[in-house]
Each structure stands twice: as C-alpha cells, then as structure tokens.
Amino acid sequence: MRDFKVGNNLNVGGNLQINDNSNQSTNLIYRTTDELLEERIHRKKLLSGERKSKWKRMAIVWLFVGCVLGIVAIWFYYQGNSNLSSLFLGLGGFGTAFASVKVLEQPTEFEARQMTALNEIRFILRERGVE
C-alpha cells in the first residue's frame, strides 16, 4: 500500500482486492485436496533433507571423536597403560553412541513443525475421505 501516491483523497467506494502474487502460507484447512497432496510431498522432502543434514553433521562428529579417541588410546598404549587405553576406547565409544542416539532421535524445532503439519494434512485428508 505504500506505493500508492494519490495524496489524501483515496476513495475506493467498494471492495478492493489487491493480489500481489505472494506465496504467503494459508491455513491448511482452506486448501484443496490437490494442494494438500502437493504440500505433503513438499514437506516430506524438507523433512528428509533435514534428517540427511543431521546425519551428515553427526558423521563428522563421529569421525572427529573417533580420531581423537584413537590417538589418545594409542598414546596411552605406547606409554604402557593398556588398561587406560581400553578404558578410553570403551567409555568414549559408549559416550559417543549415547550422545548420537540423543541427538538423532530428538527432533529439531524445524522437524517438529514439519511433522505437525504432516499430521494435520493427514487428518484433513482423512476427514475429506481421500485417505
């Protein structure tokens, strides 16, 4: 509306509808069945991409932690502390596995929003008798 330069006397005299072709999100309940099916595919792709990026980040962390634990374990082994070397490898592996499960199983805020939207789409399609 800021682009209108008509002074102080703008009088429409009826209904005014301005379509700016924006892609603002609308409530899912007002979308057609075809739009909901497309939206579900789009959100599944977003969710899949987010999960792949999460796995990639965890793989980098695993590689780094594995290298550090291996170097520390080898150093202790050559110092003559094979028990301490085994302890570092065992507890380090256990700690890494526990942290990985926590990070990978707990959804991020973005994943939670996408899963909520997918559930809502599924409920709407069930109400309409599509599923």
Question: Which pLDDT does position 5 carry in this prediction?
Answer: 61
Q: Could you report the per-residue pLDDT of 36-45, keeping only the tens digit for each?
A: 999 999 999 9
- Over the stretch 61-119, which tens digit does the pLDDT of each residue have? 999 999 999 999 999 999 998 898 999 899 999 999 999 999 999 999 999 999 999 99
For residue 12, tell me if it sits in a domain.
no
CB neighbour list of residue 72: distance below 8 Å, 6 or more residues apart: 85, 88, 92
- In terms of average pLDDT, the best of 3-7, 19-23, 59-63 is 59-63
Per the structure, how many domains does the chain have? 1
- Is residue 80 domain-resident? yes
Any domain includes 17: no
Q: Is residue 57 part of a domain?
A: yes
Task: Answer whether residue 38 is part of any domain.
Answer: yes
Is 11 among the domain residues?
A: no
Provide the residue range defining the domain that includes 67.
28-127
pTM of structure: 0.66
Report the 10 Å Cβ neighbour count for 76: 18
Is residue 4 situated within a structural domain?
Answer: no
* Close Cβ partners of 81 (under 8 Å, ≥ 6 residues apart): none
With helix as H, strand as E and coil as C, how does 38-70 read? HHHHHHHHHHHHHHHHHHHHHHHHHHHHHHHHH
